[in-house]
């Protein structure tokens, strides 16, 4: 067997550094990452990177920070398996591999000038944080902003301090709910879908942006359509098993689309007929 | 005589395959109790076989013991073929002999290096040897690996061989496989020389006990391992079918292994027994080694079983080379590859019957016996393992050893007994499982 | 980094898996380079009475004494690896559960059968928590090394949940069904590199069943071969008998 | 201009021996029971010139079962180099269906972003095709898929005409073999006429069993998403993955790291994976997006007859029949298509 070095292989990783970490909950940990020479990652909100740790593997992780943050970017990782567990051991100064960014993010040019309605369930807040912070950083380019947040319990809520800031802003309408409250919780209890009817919006100029666990979509979309938001104004991000991020390994395929390249952000209009998408 | 009390209680005797305890109790200088307790949890193989296809017998009984898996396989296949009335081909028999050599070689080397050598070099295990005798450890692992590779080529793997089944082999070695095996065997020769050198310098304890030795015997010139009648140094000779008259098994409460006796209170099987009965038929190089370390039949020092194993190693290597050269010359007939499975296609004709397999595996003669019906379903199964035949003999050795060494310290006696038991290379996994020396408190 | 301490233990089994570890040969010394083996009864006399980082356990639990022993081992060890079919799925020992216990004891030991304590065969995880599983009868050494490495680096290992056929095809074997034989490959977990079929034999299912086998279809296919259904059920049960305990009496840890 | 040459059968062995000295020479060999496999040979007597599709398709040389992508060393950080392991080889006697299979893979791996591992390896492989003079067996649907006649994708193409092979020279690599070995002669008109005659005869032998035109397939599949047939074959399927492994155009894979004993170095490899495995589309939250066997079976068929048509304008079934031959549950591609056609009354 002969061997040749490939300098342009798509599998080559870039060596990145962990700048800062923070434990968010028992399961989730936050990372700030910088690329070599503090190069900008140049991503769109909604895109993801493949995080690599040699000897363990790779995992696709959404970029949690706004592209307006130039010298570094954020990740938020839930510990579920090999790579994610190993990532949780990382501390400031450690090296990790990054490939990407991959995929299609949220269509900022289309969203500009319109009202936005963000709906995030659980870990869905991670990719949405990127867009929300972008919108807040460029607040004048967008119309009304509504944010609905749902999580299992109050202590599983991510980015609590930031959420508090969004909550306090006058130019953002914020509401959140938990499936199960604890004694300190004063807010809503119940499914996120129960909050949608109460939101005040102009369906014609509102774009809904939904990210959450797979089972959430069906119910949320039903409510949005009940609010007369046109299907082509609903965007969502799908999670699928992924290995290569290059549209080849087949794991993320839904009918003839590859979630890693054609997505993960899709317009509802585009995928509603696709079997197995929602 | 010294009127002391001795309580030895070695739980989980180490460096033997399986679990056993040694229990010695001397009160006022009188030996009250001296037992080798086999406390392995029983695994009920004979029971589990009933109602199963005879074509599964080998696969299951191989799992009696991972150390003698090839030996069990060969005994099982022989018994099964005997029971259903199938005659293996000459090529098959040659390949089985080869497999048996690999098995004996592998097991003997493991025993000599990893299990006995530490005692003789005065350390607890091979681990400290990694530093003190690194070359020896590396050589041991290398030789062990070589045996493994041989089995990998011949039967897929050493632990639970894959291709050796009732009817023949499911995969036959190709020309290149034969060459590779030859290469490995020839490559082992220098290491074998070094092993003999090492053994020459080891000191075995002086101890003798006259007993009866039992092994396969035959009338031809071949050192009988795979086939033959059963013979003993007390002049017994019987067909293997009469194995029950040889083993006369009985159960004792302190052991999950059954005990055995023949012409006297106990008998011994294993390398030393074979050496004592069939010395003349060893390969001439093996005989030279025997002379060099002055081992002669009939030797009655059980500690020297290890030396007999060493001599057999030489025999196995040399005879394996001869068998392979013969196979190369005659060319392997690949048409003989068998496809059997559960005999779905009835490729092997099955008659009802009762069959016995008797094979000289590393620790001595191993009997398998199956009774099958006309559909090839096992109705009754019995396996008599070398170690169970030896346990009784070991206990008599132990008693004599303790009586002769009463003046020594408990620690010295314990070590002497442990070494004695280990020299038999007892495979307790086989006999049930477990070995532990317990010197029970005598003042109960 | 502190060198992790590893200890090997065995319960009812043939000890073949220990031997497989010994068989790794000189590469074994590489492992000893990064970890301390503190107990390994088959080849070592040393005993270690303190706690250790990794306990590697072989064999099934078949008597009361074993239950106590395995609990003790678990309490002393940070991680526990069950290796070999006997430990991970009950394996061959599970066939015993086909019989009434007294009946089988009498069969083997005659009238003195009561001396021999026995209970239904259980894999280790029926009694204590197991962190890593290495299936196989015997274990496939490369997989054992992979798991050991995972344990040493503290990352999880998932036993492959696909069929032996996958690897069998990688090796371009002629399928046993095409030879007219029944094979356990389709419902057995991969990871052994289709060892048996590579050597001309059928798969006996030693690595346990995939998590969601299409048992009905598998039985349909096996039945087509016109052999006694009992023999086929026996074949499926050869290694997998203990699965029944999971649905009935016992819960997995 | 078409270039044809002649190779006398008596010269085949010289060809094999010359070429196999310079590089690996892979050809179909018999494994018994009418089973074949591409293996390395050094003499023409080991080659099975008359063979039905090998157990594994030649894709195993283009994207091996296990393939190193990266070698890493984490002693000081995440150091690595991307590599491709390859072998110079001649692949001999590739049937037209397998040539089509290789063409499909070429399209997939040349699509952006290009897969260099595949492309480098592919460039080291010289392909010599071999015409099928007869239909392999009842499982072949190559005529329906339009793969019974050569359609490019080779360097040389052999057609067995009794005493000699007529050889179509398609590329410079092919030309080089002709020039280097000096075993080939020029073809005359009569040789070419013989070839025409054979092809004429083949037209009668290689028939479309389905009675519909291939171009109707996408329409057929559009209508069949919710067909009961998927449930029926799903109930029988064992999810063993045999069908995807033997398929010449299945290319799904898994990526994983294999560590060396030192726990510091190792390699990242890619391994064939199968959409028939239950865990293939499972995500960490626990959802499996094709949990039902029927969904997985449907996915496999659509990945042959519908999705690639949308994406690459090409069917990814070559008609080789391997999936049907290998399936122990006797799930047949031919039967399934027939049932779909019947159910939808497509004409
Ligand atoms: C576009 C995208 C964005 C994501 N963003 C985030 C994020 O921001 N934060 C976060 O914590 N997680 C995110 N995930 C999920 C994350 O990729 C998986 O949790 C991770 O790959 C699991 O890897 P592992 O090695 O830890 O788990 P493994 O040990 O490999 O497996 C554990 C479980 O995870 C499943 N799984 C394995 N690989 C994947 C995969 N590539 N995608 C999904 N499930 C997988 C397995 O089937 C198994 O059930 C994202 C996934 C996708 C596809
Ligand atoms: S031989 Fe067994 S493991 Fe191999 S493909 Fe056939 S059924 Fe599967
Ligand atoms: S092929 Fe089957 S029986 Fe053989 S090792 Fe693999 S899983 Fe076990
Ligand atoms: S080969 Fe047959 S049984 Fe196996 S996955 Fe494919 S369709 Fe299912």
pLDDT in tens, B306-341: 999 999 999 999 999 999 999 999 999 999 999 888
With beta carbons less than 8 A apart as the criterion, state whether D87 and D24 touch.
yes
pLDDT tens per residue, range B108-136: 998 888 777 777 777 777 777 877 888 88
Per-residue pLDDT at B131: 79
Per-residue pLDDT at B41: 56
Tell me whether residue A270 is exposed, middle or buried, using C-beta atoms within 10 angstroms of its C-beta: 0 to 12, 13 to 18, 19 or more. Answer: middle
Compute the nearest-CA separation of C144 from chain D (Å): 11
User: Stretch D306-325: mean pLDDT, rounded?
Assistant: 92
What average pLDDT is seen over chain B? 86
CB atoms within 10 A of CB C182: 23
What average pLDDT is seen over chain A? 89
Give the predicted TM-score (pTM) of the model: 0.89
Residues 72-91 of A with CB under 8 A from D: 78, 80-81, 84
Helix (H, G, I), strand (E, B) or coil at D85: strand
Q: What are phi and psi of C54, to 5 degrees?
A: -130, 125
Residues of chain D above pLDDT 90, percent: 71
CB atoms within 10 A of CB D138: 12
Cα separation of B197 and C184, whole Å? 49
Q: Which ligand is nearest to the CA of A266?
A: 1
CB atoms within 10 A of CB A193: 21
Of B260-269, C165-174, D296-305, the range with the highest mean pLDDT is: C165-174
Cα separation of B235 and A50, whole Å? 78
Name the residue ranges covered by the structural domains of chain D: 3-205, 214-344
Helix (H, G, I), strand (E, B) or coil at C156: coil
| Cα dihedral C201, C204, C208, C211 sign | positive
Instruction: Answer whether A264 contacts ligand 1 (Cβ < 6 A).
Output: yes
The band of B435, judged by pLDDT with boundaries at 50, 70 and 90, is: very low
- DSSP annotation of B205: P
Using the beta-carbon criterion (under 8 Å), do D278 and C30 form an inter-chain contact? no
**The CATH number of domain A8-101 is 2.40.30.10:** yes
Helix (H, G, I), strand (E, B) or coil at C178: coil
Phi-psi region of A199 (alpha: psi -120 to 50; beta: other; left: phi over 0): beta
pLDDT at B1 over 70: no
**C92 in contact with B, Cβ within 8 Å:** yes
Contact partners, residue D172, CB within 8 Å, separation at least 6: none
The band of C250, judged by pLDDT with boundaries at 50, 70 and 90, is: very low
Q: What are phi and psi of D320, to 5 degrees?
A: -75, -25
Ligand 3, pocket-test mutation among C184, C192, C236, most atoms within 8 A of CB: C192
The band of C236, judged by pLDDT with boundaries at 50, 70 and 90, is: confident
SS (H, E, C) A143-158: CCEEEEEEECCHHHCC
Q: Which ligand is nearest to the CA of C186?
A: 2
Helix (H, G, I), strand (E, B) or coil at A18: strand
The band of B290, judged by pLDDT with boundaries at 50, 70 and 90, is: very high
Cα separation of D263 and D245, whole Å? 31
Residues of chain C above pLDDT 70, percent: 83
pLDDT tens per residue, range B336-372: 999 888 888 888 999 999 999 999 999 999 999 999 9
pLDDT tens per residue, range C107-140: 555 555 555 556 788 899 999 999 999 999 999 9
CATH architecture of A108-271: 3-Layer(aba) Sandwich (3.40)
- Tokens representing A19? 């700048």
Instruction: Answer whether D147 contacts ligand 4 (Cβ < 6 A).
Output: no
Using the beta-carbon criterion (under 8 Å), do A55 and D254 form an inter-chain contact? no
pLDDT at C229 over 90: no
Cα separation of B366 and B103, whole Å? 13
pLDDT at B443 over 80: no
pLDDT at D212 over 80: yes
Query: Measured between CB atoms, which of A55, A82, A89 is closest to C156?
Result: A82
CATH architecture of C5-153: 3-Layer(aba) Sandwich (3.40)
User: Stretch A239-249: mean pLDDT, rounded?
Assistant: 89
Report the helix count and the strand count for chain C, using DSSP H and E.
11, 5
Name the residue ranges covered by the structural domains of chain A: 8-101, 108-271
SS (H, E, C) A176-223: EEECCCCCCCCCEECCHHHHHHHCCCCHHHEEEEEECCHHHHHHHHHH
Using the beta-carbon criterion (under 8 Å), do C32 and B127 form an inter-chain contact? yes
Of A132-136, A203-207, B138-142, D50-54, the range with the highest mean pLDDT is: D50-54
| Cα dihedral C228, C231, C235, C239 sign | positive
List, chain by chain if needed, residues with CB within 6 Å of any ligand 2 atom: C 164-165, 168-169, 173, 175-177, 183, 185-186, 194, 197, 203; D 240, 242, 328
Report the helix count and the strand count for chain A, using DSSP H and E.
7, 16
pLDDT at B433 over 50: no
Per-residue pLDDT at B98: 97
Helix (H, G, I), strand (E, B) or coil at B54: helix
The band of B14, judged by pLDDT with boundaries at 50, 70 and 90, is: low
Per-residue pLDDT at C113: 55
Using the beta-carbon criterion (under 8 Å), do D329 and C221 form an inter-chain contact? yes
Strand partners for A99:
A50
More confident residue, A187 or C189: C189
Of the candidates D175, A34, D119, D236, which has an alpha carbon nearest to the alpha carbon of residue C186? D236
pLDDT tens per residue, range B52-105: 999 999 999 999 888 889 999 999 999 999 999 999 999 999 999 999 999 999
| Cα dihedral B122, B128, B132, B137 sign | positive
Between B25-39, C11-25, D31-45, the lowest mean confidence (pLDDT) is in B25-39
Residues of chain B above pLDDT 90, percent: 53
With beta carbons less than 8 A apart as the criterion, state whether A238 and A259 touch.
yes
With beta carbons less than 8 A apart as the criterion, state whether A238 and D292 touch.
no
Contact partners, residue A136, CB within 8 Å, separation at least 6: A166, A169, A172
Cα separation of C42 and B418, whole Å? 14
Closest CA to ligand 4's atom 8? D237
Name the residue ranges covered by the structural domains of chain C: 5-153, 164-246
What average pLDDT is seen over chain D? 91
Instruction: Answer whether D24 contacts ligand 1 (Cβ < 6 A).
Output: no
Per-residue pLDDT at C125: 92
Per-residue pLDDT at C112: 56
Q: Which ligand is nearest to the CA of D246?
A: 4
Of the candidates C188, C209, C192, which has an alpha carbon nearest to the alpha carbon of residue C142? C192
**A54 in contact with C, Cβ within 8 Å:** no
Cα separation of D276 and D283, whole Å? 16
Helices A160-168 and A125-137 cross at an angle (nearest 10°) of 40
pLDDT at B436 over 50: no
With beta carbons less than 8 A apart as the criterion, state whether B303 and B262 touch.
no
Cα separation of B17 and B114, whole Å? 12
Q: What are phi and psi of A270, to 5 degrees?
A: -75, -30
Between A21-35, A168-182, D66-80, the lowest mean confidence (pLDDT) is in A168-182
User: Stretch D41-52: mean pLDDT, rounded?
Assistant: 93
**C153 in contact with A, Cβ within 8 Å:** yes
Ligand 1, pocket-test mutation among A24, A57, A61, most atoms within 8 A of CB: A61
Cα separation of C44 and C42, whole Å? 6
With beta carbons less than 8 A apart as the criterion, state whether B7 and B413 touch.
no
Alpha-helix runs per DSSP H in chain D: 12-22, 59-62, 96-110, 116-123, 172-181, 189-205, 217-223, 228-236, 242-246, 293-305, 307-312, 322-326, 333-344
Per-residue pLDDT at D13: 94
Cα separation of B224 and B97, whole Å? 10
Cα separation of C157 and C160, whole Å? 9
Compute the nearest-CA separation of B159 from chain C (Å): 6
Query: Measured between CB atoms, which of A1, A240, A246 is closest to D87?
Result: A1
- Per CATH, the homologous superfamily of domain B54-203+320-365 is Cytochrome-c3 Hydrogenase, chain B (1.10.645.10)
Buried-exposed string D72-96: b where 16+ CB fall within 10 A, e elsewhere: bbbeeebebebbbbbeebbbbbbbb
Compute the nearest-CA separation of B185 from chain C (Å): 17
């Amino acid at each position: 067997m002969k061997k040749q070095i490939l300098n342009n292989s798509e599998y080559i990783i870039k060596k990145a550094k962990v700048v800062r970490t923070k434990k968010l909950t028992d399961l989730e940990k936050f990372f700030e990452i910088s690329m070599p020479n503090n190069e900008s990652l140049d991503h769109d909100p909604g895109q993801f990177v493949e995080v690599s740790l040699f000897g363990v593997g790779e995992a696709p992780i959404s970029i949690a920070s706004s592209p307006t943050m130039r010298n570094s970017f954020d990740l938020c990782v839930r510990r579920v398996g090999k790579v994610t567990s190993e990532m949780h051991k990382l501390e400031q100064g450690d090296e990790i591999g990054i490939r990407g960014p991959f995929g299609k993010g949220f269509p900022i040019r289309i969203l500009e000038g319109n009202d936005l309605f963000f709906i995030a369930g659980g870990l869905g807040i991670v990719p949405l944080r990127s867009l929300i912070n972008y919108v807040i950083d460029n607040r004048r380019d967008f119309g009304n902003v509504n944010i609905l947040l749902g999580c299992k319990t109050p202590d599983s809520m991510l980015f609590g301090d930031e959420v508090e800031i969004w909550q306090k802003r006058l130019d953002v309408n914020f509401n959140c709910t938990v499936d199960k409250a604890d004694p300190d919780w004063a807010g809503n209890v119940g499914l996120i879908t129960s909050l949608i009817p109460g939101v005040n919006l102009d369906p014609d100029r509102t774009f809904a942006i939904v990210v959450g666990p797979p089972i959430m979509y069906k119910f949320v979309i039903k409510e949005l359509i009940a609010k007369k938001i046109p299907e082509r104004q609903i965007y969502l991000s799908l999670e699928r098993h992924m290995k290569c991020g290059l549209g080849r390994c087949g794991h993320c395929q839904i009918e003839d689309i590859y979630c890693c390249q054609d997505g993960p952000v899709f317009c509802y209009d585009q995928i509603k007929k696709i079997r197995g998408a929602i | 005589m010294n009127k002391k009390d001795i309580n030895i209680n070695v739980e989980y005797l180490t460096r033997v395959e399986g679990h056993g305890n040694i229990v010695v109790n001397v009160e006022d200088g009188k030996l009250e109790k001296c037992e080798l307790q086999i406390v392995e949890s029983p695994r009920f193989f004979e029971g589990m076989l009933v109602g199963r296809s005879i074509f599964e017998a080998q696969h299951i009984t191989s799992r009696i013991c991972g150390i003698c898996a090839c030996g069990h396989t060969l005994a099982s296949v022989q018994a099964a073929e005997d029971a259903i009335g199938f005659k293996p081909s000459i090529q098959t028999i040659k390949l089985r002999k080869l497999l048996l050599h690999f098995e004996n070689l592998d097991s003997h080397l493991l025993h000599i290096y990893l299990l006995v050598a530490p005692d003789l070099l005065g350390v607890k295990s091979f681990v400290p040897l990694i530093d003190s005798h690194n070359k020896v450890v590396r050589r041991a692992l290398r030789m062990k690996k070589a045996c493994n590779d041989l089995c990998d080529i011949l039967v897929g793997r050493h632990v639970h061989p894959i291709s050796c089944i009732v009817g023949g082999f499911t995969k036959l070695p190709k020309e290149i496989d034969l060459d590779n095996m030859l290469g490995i065997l020839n490559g082992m020769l220098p290491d074998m020389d070094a092993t003999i050198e090492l053994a020459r310098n080891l000191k075995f304890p002086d101890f003798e006990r006259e007993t009866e030795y039992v092994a396969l015997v035959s009338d031809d010139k071949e050192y009988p391992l795979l086939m033959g009648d059963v013979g003993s140094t007390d002049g017994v000779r019987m067909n293997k079918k009469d194995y029950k008259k040889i083993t006369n098994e009985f159960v004792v409460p302190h052991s999950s292994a059954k005990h055995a006796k023949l012409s006297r209170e106990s008998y011994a099987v294993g390398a030393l027994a074979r050496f004592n009965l069939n010395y003349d038929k060893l390969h001439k190089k093996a005989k030279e080694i025997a002379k060099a370390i002055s081992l002669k039949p009939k030797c009655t020092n059980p500690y020297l079983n290890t030396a007999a194993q060493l001599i057999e190693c030489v025999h196995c290597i040399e005879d394996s080379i001869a068998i392979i050269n013969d196979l190369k010359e005659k060319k392997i007939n690949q048409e003989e590859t068998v496809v059997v499975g559960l005999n779905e296609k009835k490729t092997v004709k099955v008659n009802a019957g009762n069959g016995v397999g008797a094979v000289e595996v590393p620790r001595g003669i191993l009997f398998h016996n199956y009774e099958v019906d006309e559909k090839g379903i096992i109705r009754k199964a019995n396996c008599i393992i070398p170690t169970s035949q030896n346990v009784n003999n070991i206990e008599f050795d132990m008693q004599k050893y303790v009586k002769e060494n009463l003046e020594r310290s408990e620690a010295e006696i314990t070590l002497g007994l442990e070494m004695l038991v280990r020299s038999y290379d007892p495979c307790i996994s086989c006999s049930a499982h477990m070995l532990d020396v317990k010197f029970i408190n005598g003042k109960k | 980094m502190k060198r992790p301490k590893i200890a090997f233990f065995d319960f009812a089994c043939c000890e073949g898996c220990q031997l497989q570890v010994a068989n790794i040969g000189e590469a074994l010394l590489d492992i000893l380079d990064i970890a301390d083996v503190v107990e390994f009864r088959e080849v070592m006399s040393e005993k270690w009475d303190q706690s250790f980082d990794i306990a590697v356990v072989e064999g099934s639990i078949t008597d009361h004494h074993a239950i106590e022993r395995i609990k003790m081992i678990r309490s002393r060890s940070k991680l526990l690896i069950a290796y070999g079919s006997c430990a991970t799925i009950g394996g061959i020992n599970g066939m015993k559960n086909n019989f009434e216990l007294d009946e089988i004891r009498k069969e083997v030991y005659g009238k003195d059968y009561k001396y021999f304590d026995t209970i239904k065969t259980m894999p280790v995880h029926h009694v204590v928590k197991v962190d890593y599983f290495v299936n196989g009868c015997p274990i496939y050494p490369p997989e054992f090394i992979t798991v050991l490495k995972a344990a040493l680096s503290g990352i999880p290992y998932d036993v492959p949940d696909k069929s032996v056929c996958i690897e069998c095809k990688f090796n371009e074997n002629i399928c046993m069904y095409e030879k007219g034989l029944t094979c356990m490959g389709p419902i057995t977990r991969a990871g052994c590199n289709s060892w048996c079929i590579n050597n001309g034999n059928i798969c006996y299912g030693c690595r346990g069943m995939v998590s969601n086998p299409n048992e009905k279809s598998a039985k349909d296919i096996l039945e087509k071969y016109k052999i006694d259904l009992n023999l086929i059920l026996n074949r499926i049960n050869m290694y997998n008998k203990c699965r029944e305990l999971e649905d009935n009496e016992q819960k997995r840890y | 201009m078409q270039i044809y040459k002649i190779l006398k059968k008596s010269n085949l062995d010289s060809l094999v021996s010359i070429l196999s000295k310079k590089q690996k020479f892979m050809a179909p060999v018999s494994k018994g029971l009418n089973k074949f496999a591409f293996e390395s040979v050094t003499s023409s007597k080991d080659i099975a010139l008359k063979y039905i599709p090998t157990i594994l398709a030649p894709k195993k040389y283009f994207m091996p079962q296990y393939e190193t992508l990266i070698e890493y060393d984490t002693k000081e950080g995440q150091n690595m180099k991307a590599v491709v392991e390859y072998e110079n080889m001649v692949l001999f006697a590739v049937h037209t269906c397998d040539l089509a299979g290789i063409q499909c893979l070429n399209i997939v791996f040349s699509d952006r972003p290009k897969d260099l591992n595949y492309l480098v390896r592919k460039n080291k492989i010289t392909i010599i095709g071999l015409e099928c003079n007869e239909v392999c067996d009842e499982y072949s649907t190559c005529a329906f898929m339009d793969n019974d006649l050569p359609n490019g994708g080779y360097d040389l193409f052999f057609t067995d005409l009794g005493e000699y092979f007529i050889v179509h020279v398609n590329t410079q690599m092919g030309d080089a073999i002709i020039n280097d070995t000096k075993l080939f002669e020029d073809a005359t008109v009569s040789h070419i006429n013989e070839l025409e005659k054979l092809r004429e005869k083949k037209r009668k032998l290689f028939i479309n069993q389905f009675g519909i035109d291939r171009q109707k397939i996408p329409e057929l599949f559009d209508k069949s998403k919710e067909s009961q047939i998927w449930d029926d074959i799903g109930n029988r399927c064992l999810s063993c993955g045999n069908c995807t492994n033997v398929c010449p155009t299945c290319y799904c894979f898994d990526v994983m790291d294999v560590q060396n004993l030192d726990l510091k170095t190792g390699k990242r490899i890619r391994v064939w994976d199968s959409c028939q495995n239950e865990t293939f589309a499972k995500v960490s939250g626990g959802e499996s997006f094709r949990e039902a066997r029927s969904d997985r079976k449907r996915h496999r068929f659509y990945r042959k007859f519908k999705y690639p048509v949308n994406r690459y304008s090409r069917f990814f079934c070559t008609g080789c029949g391997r999936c049907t031959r290998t399936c122990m549950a006797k799930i047949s591609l031919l039967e399934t298509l027939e049932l779909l056609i019947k159910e939808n009354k497509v004409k």
